[in-house]
Amino acid sequence: MTHSKGSYLFGRGLGLVFGVAFVSWHLQQAGLIGERGITPAVEWMRALEARGLGYLDVPTLTWWLGADDGALTAICLLGELASLALLLGAAPGPSALIATLLYLSLRHVGGPFMAFQWDILLVETGWLGAIALPWRALHRPGAITPMPTLARWAIHALMFRLMLLSGAVKLMSGDPVWRGLDALSFHYWTQPLPGPLSWLAHQLPGWVHALGALLTFAVELVLPFAIPLAAAAALSRRDALAGWALRVAGVGFIGLMGIIALTGNYGFFNLLTIVIALPMLDDAWLARIPKLEVGPARSKPASRAANGLATLPIGLGALALIFGLGGGPSLPDVAHEALTHARAFHVTSTYGLFARMTTTRREIELEGSLDGETWRAYRFRHKPSDPTELPGWSAPHMPRLDWQMWFAALGDHRQSPWLGRLMRRLLEAEPSVLALFAEDPFDGRPPRYVRARVSDYRFGDWALLLETGRWWRVEPLGPYTPTYSR
């Protein structure tokens, strides 16, 4: 049983995800890490140089290109071009490698705004794409070069690690909400950026939430083992069993990602995970896509080289899996050293989403004033602020300031030093930072004072909506930061 069509779609899909990620970041880059941004990349690079670090410690092309606005823009533009080439199937292997190196560079200078697991996952997937995809232009549109076998299994191994660890951390954390199957009773309204269907999902009966949590555990803790089952079946030449196991797991993973995408906004994460699952679907199952024709097999030397390179991420991924499952102390020192270097380049990583379910939601509201008496709010583009507005769609775009405001609200303001820098930029009415907001209440004029207040948010019910038109119940909690002034 062959998987050529799914492998082909993986390459095109990876180009799409890279393109979305680069464009999304490009739109926000100036305000986040530009020279006048919240956490300027040039300052970060100076700090790295002062510590005597270099490329092998922090692998970013800004060591040579610089980290000013022009260099950062060039990295984004080159990344977008490489993504487009990958999407179109032009020299897929080299295009994937270039996109990966460029995105890795941004990841390392992006500060807290590039610290998400799916940024790391995209880089790791990009390395695998550079190994598994053809290092020459396709002969003609629609022709498919089969993926080298071991390289394809390296992608399956990544999916195994991603899903299994995402389920394992929920149990290993000891979170009573997950263990009691109550997590989804909170998830839809406490997640960072709810979507327009989140409110409706929250209104479902408690038993539906419990069933959803149980199915999540089934997909994350049970279905991954279909991958080693398929590997064992393939080795024993039981191709039908191997294809069936991969197909069932792949469809289950894609289904879970689809449900998550419908009920929340997670940037490009869901799309990326679906792309990683595509090589699990066999050609017979994808036969309804007639224009995808399997082309001539790749030459043996190229296949041998790709399969040889694939052993590195497979081996390092196995070490990362052991580490993620709590087996770090049992690993020898050489394994820890290998993981340290691999993590710098994001060749492998441990993953684990929603290890603990948040059961409250605090929203930080930024306000400015010209006189210290009348305060006006800075409206965010995507995070909840107006209780009468239903949450909207933002994915696959990743609004990084909105996300970081959610993380900041989980703790004290001193735990998020970038927030103070944001408020000082608002006092200066910095245009690149103001562009991150949906509305500047002062039309470009600098306010004299800026403050942050916090409120408790939770979804209301049908009665509240029909009576007041409010989707959220909001309770002000008071100041979050001291008032900043100029």
Pick from 12-21, 214-223, 232-241: least confident: 232-241
Q: Residue 196: pLDDT band by 50, 70, 90 thresholds? A: very high
CA atoms within 13 A on the CB side of 95: 26
Q: Residue 307: pLDDT band by 50, 70, 90 thresholds? A: confident
pLDDT recorded at residue 365: 96
pLDDT recorded at residue 297: 45
pLDDT recorded at residue 141: 46
pLDDT recorded at residue 354: 79
pLDDT recorded at residue 301: 52
pLDDT recorded at residue 237: 87
CA distance 369 to 357: 36
Mean pLDDT of 287-300: 56
pLDDT recorded at residue 448: 96
pLDDT at 208 over 70: yes
The H or E element spanning position 479 is strand 472-479
Mean pLDDT of 299-313: 79
pLDDT recorded at residue 138: 60
Q: What torsion do the CA atoms of 190, 121, 321, 227 make, to the nearest 10 degrees? A: 100
pLDDT recorded at residue 107: 97
Structure tokens of 12? 């095109």
CA distance 352 to 424: 34
Q: Residue 136: pLDDT band by 50, 70, 90 thresholds? A: confident
CB–CB of 127/103 below 8 Å?
no
Q: How far is CA 442 from CA 94, 142, 367, 378, in A?
A: 47, 53, 11, 9
Pick from 44-58, 226-240, 298-312, 412-426: least confident: 298-312
CB–CB of 43/36 below 8 Å?
no
pLDDT recorded at residue 241: 87
pLDDT recorded at residue 80: 98
CB–CB of 264/195 below 8 Å?
yes
In degrees and rounded to multiples of 5, residue 64 shows phi and psi of -110, -35
CA distance 95 to 451: 46
Structure tokens of 450? 């800026």
Helices 400-409 + 417-427 axis angle, to 10: 120
pLDDT at 424 over 50: yes
pLDDT recorded at residue 293: 58
pLDDT at 139 over 50: no
Structure tokens of 435? 């562009």
CB–CB of 385/406 below 8 Å?
no
Mean pLDDT of 164-180: 93
Q: Residue 135: pLDDT band by 50, 70, 90 thresholds? A: confident
Q: Identify the DSSP state of 397.
A: S
CA distance 235 to 392: 47
Mean pLDDT of 43-47: 96
87: CB partners within 8 A, 6+ apart: 12, 15, 16, 19
CA distance 16 to 19: 5
Mean pLDDT of 404-428: 95
Q: Is the dihedral of CA 154, 95, 306, 292 positive or negative?
A: positive
pLDDT at 1 over 70: no
290: CB partners within 8 A, 6+ apart: none
pLDDT at 197 over 50: yes
Can you give the length of the chain in residues? 486
pLDDT recorded at residue 486: 84
N- to C-terminal Cα separation, the chain: 68
Closest of 293, 325, 268, 336 to residue 121, by C-alpha? 268
Other Cβ atoms closer than 10 A to 485: 12
Mean pLDDT of 352-373: 92
Structure tokens of 288? 């309804």
Average pLDDT score over the chain: 92
Q: What is the model's pTM? A: 0.94
pLDDT at 471 over 80: yes
CA distance 16 to 84: 8
Mean pLDDT of 402-422: 95
Q: How far is CA 337 from CA 72, 89, 127, 285, 447, in A?
A: 31, 36, 20, 42, 50
Q: What are the residue boundaries of the structural domains of the chain, listed by start?
A: 4-344, 362-485
CB–CB of 2/77 below 8 Å?
no
pLDDT recorded at residue 290: 62
Structure tokens of 59? 């692998």
pLDDT at 288 over 70: no
CA distance 27 to 113: 13
Pick from 142-151, 397-406, 419-428: least confident: 142-151
